Amino acid sequence: MKIIGIIPARMASTRFPGKPLAPICGIPMIGHIFLRSRMSETLDDVYVATCDVSIKEYITTLDGKAVMTSDVHERATDRTAEAMIKIEEEIGTAIDIVVMIQGDEPLVTPALIGALVRPMIEDDSIQITNLISTIDDDDEFNNPNAVKIVMDISGNALYFSREAIPSGKKYHGTPPRFKQLGIIAFRRSFLLKFNDLTPTPLEKIESVDMLRILEHGLKIRMVMSPDKIYSVDIPEDRVQVENLMKLDRLFAKYARSDNKIP
């Protein structure tokens, strides 16, 4: 089974322009994501998919592989699919599973990549898996940048929202609170199918791509992340992640001067 990681990244982020090359402990954010993903034994290879030459040039300094993609993509899945096709043409073989690792997950670990892919290896009927993590405080639960998720008893997604779900107003206690992480595994055919599906009303209302799958009556298997990680959505998030990075067990393995901004 051919399993690769693709990291879609672009400099023109709406909420945080230039985010991929923003330094965290002296290393660009995209560098952390690439170097940590490359540690995964689950992945046969890792690529960065970008429309920005500056990102490609930096990844090249890491002896990494970057695929240039169109600059008109609005969704990470479109950029990932284009890169996958180009990679297949280059290596001369089809990819079985693509792990899309969003360019705002600098604390990604090999363990969570393995946990994400495992259900798909064990069950051929699962077409897509998405990592989730618990929400521990009210600020994050009410933060619209954190996409909340509710699931059925089998662990499949029921709904995604930027609002605080489920409601706790009539519940005596603390309801289960989970957030979506930007790390998603697709079977090759399902990634292409997803991009061909017509965009849907709730997807547009919530600004959450995964709702398109649910609105078309398909399933997404949610997987609990074995590691607690934090995304960088806005500039303020970088400070919190940098403090965590200083204590991170993986960081010391690649925190070399030659990985920093040239």
Separation between Cα atoms, residue 39 and residue 45, nearest integer Å: 10
Mean pLDDT within 93-101 = 97
- Helix (H, G, I), strand (E, B), or coil: what is residue 177? coil
Q: Identify the pLDDT of residue 262.
A: 52
pLDDT at 257 over 80: no
Mean pLDDT of 86-114: 96
Of 134-143, 166-175, 217-226, where does mean pLDDT reach its minimum? 166-175
* pLDDT above 70: percentage of residues in the chain: 98
Task: Please tell me the predicted confidence (pLDDT) of residue 130.
Answer: 98
Residue 74 confidence (pLDDT): 83
Phi and psi torsions of 186, nearest 5°: -120, 140
Provide DSSP, 196-235: HSPP-HHHHHHT-TTHHHHHTT---EEEE-SS------SH
Round to whole Å and give the CA distance between 218 and 261. Answer: 42
At residue 171, the pLDDT reads 87
| pLDDT reported for residue 128 | 98
Are 133 and 229 within 8 A, CB to CB?
Answer: yes
When pLDDT is averaged across residues 35-47 and rounded to a whole number, the result is 97
Summarised one tens digit per residue, pLDDT across range 201-253 is 999 999 999 999 999 999 999 999 998 888 998 889 999 999 999 999 999 89
In eight-state DSSP terms, residue 60 is H
Domains in the chain, CATH or no CATH each: 3-130+180-220+227-235+242-259 (3.90.550.10)
Q: Which element (helix H / strand E) includes 132?
A: strand 128-134
DSSP bridge pairs for 214? none
Q: In 246-256, which positions are buried (b, 16+ CB within 10 angstroms) versus exposed (e)?
A: eebebbeebbe
H or E element that contains 91: helix 76-91
